[in-house]
Amino acid sequence: MVTGSVPRPQTGRPRDTGVDETILRATVRRFVEDGYTGMSLAKIASDAGTTRPTMYLRWPSKHALVVAAVRAALEQRGAPAPASPDGLPPKERVLRLLSGLRPDDDDEIRRLYATLLAESPRIPELNELLDELVLEPRTRAIAELLDEMKASGDVREDVNTEHAATMIYGAQLVVSLRTGTDGTDRDRESLDLLWPSIAAHPRRRQR
């Protein structure tokens, strides 16, 4: 007698990941254009060229679909690039890092950030995604660079680098979302205001 469970045979067609991706992209577009309350599964299905039953086979609710779509879009954006190498003046290194954090180069991502900021207070999971995949990794990248500069004597020893990083990235994000244009000059203007409060006095810098 054979003991143990016997694997159940697969039934139906394999799940088409191409359909999944099409639905997720359509969901992000509707989320950005209509907001969470205004968007509907019927419109998403029409945009994606599929049906609501097909969508329900994959995600049990609009809430689950939106969370999955937002996560996919943010993960596709990827993590921040490493900090710029040594050889540049300290403030220029921060500016070089900031140039890789701006969402200006992708209008859909920039609009997604803005929609997330508006919708996240009502949907805790979206707030968690915003922090996990956007705010935390970008402020951490800045804080790590400032920690490195603190060790080399270019940033004051008493500076809270996490707080400073939050102010630096927050200024960049707000300007980017408000203007939607290349923020290189605005990054410099913002950092020019903040830098004197965190930079080490020249006499204290290590030589």
Question: Does residue 47 fall inside a structural domain?
Answer: yes
Residues 116 and 70 in one domain: no
> Do 191 and 144 share a structural domain?
yes
Determine the pLDDT at residue 8: 44
Task: Say whether pLDDT at 51 is over 80.
Answer: yes
When pLDDT is averaged across residues 48-67 and rounded to a whole number, the result is 95
* Structural contact between residues 130 and 122, judged by C-beta atoms closer than 8 angstroms: no
45, 56 in Cβ contact below 8 A? no
Mean of per-residue pLDDT scores for the chain: 85
CA-nearest of 97, 123, 117, 104 to 188 is 97
Q: Is residue 11 part of a domain?
A: no
Co-location of 147 and 101 in the same domain: yes
How is residue 89 annotated by DSSP?
-
Look up the CATH number of the domain holding residue 156. Answer: 1.10.357.10
Q: Is residue 4 part of a domain?
A: no
- DSSP annotation of 6: P
pLDDT tens digit string along 106-148? 788 888 998 998 998 888 999 999 999 999 999 999 999 999 9
Q: Where a domain ends, among 39, 58, 75?
A: 75
Residues 44, 142, single domain; the answer is no
CATH (domain of 40): 1.10.10.60
Looking at the fold, whether 64 and 83 belong to one and the same domain comes out as: no
171, 147: one domain: yes
Examine residue 56 and state whether it is found in any structural domain, yes or no.
yes
Domains of the chain: total: 2
Question: Do 65 and 103 belong together in one domain?
Answer: no
Statement to judge: residues 32 and 111 lie in one domain: no
| Lowest-pLDDT choice from 42-46, 152-156, 171-175, 193-197 | 171-175
Closest CA to 52 of 61, 62, 42, 60: 42
9 in any annotated domain: no
pLDDT tens per residue, range 164-200: 999 999 998 888 887 766 567 888 999 999 999 999 9
The answer to whether residue 16 scores a pLDDT higher than 70 is no
Q: 39: phi > 0 → left, psi -120 to 50 → alpha, else beta; which?
A: beta
Does residue 174 lie within any of the structural domains? Answer: yes
Question: Average pLDDT, stretch 12-28?
Answer: 81
**107 or 40, higher pLDDT:** 40
Residue at token pair 């220029």: 92
Question: Could you tell me if 190 and 90 lie in one domain?
Answer: yes
pLDDT grade, residue 162 (50/70/90)?
very high
Same domain, 47 and 97: no
Q: What is the pLDDT of residue 84?
A: 64
Regarding whether 95 and 26 lie in a shared domain, the answer is no
Domain that residue 42 falls in:
17-75
More confident residue, 166 or 81: 166
pLDDT at 77: 78
Quickly state the pLDDT bin for 52 (edges 50, 70, 90).
very high
Of 109, 89, 107, residue with least CA distance to 191 = 89
Same domain, 167 and 134: yes
3 occurs within a structural domain: no
Question: Residue 36: is it exposed, middle or buried by C-beta count within 10 angstroms (0-12/13-18/19+)?
Answer: middle
Q: Is residue 12 part of a domain?
A: no
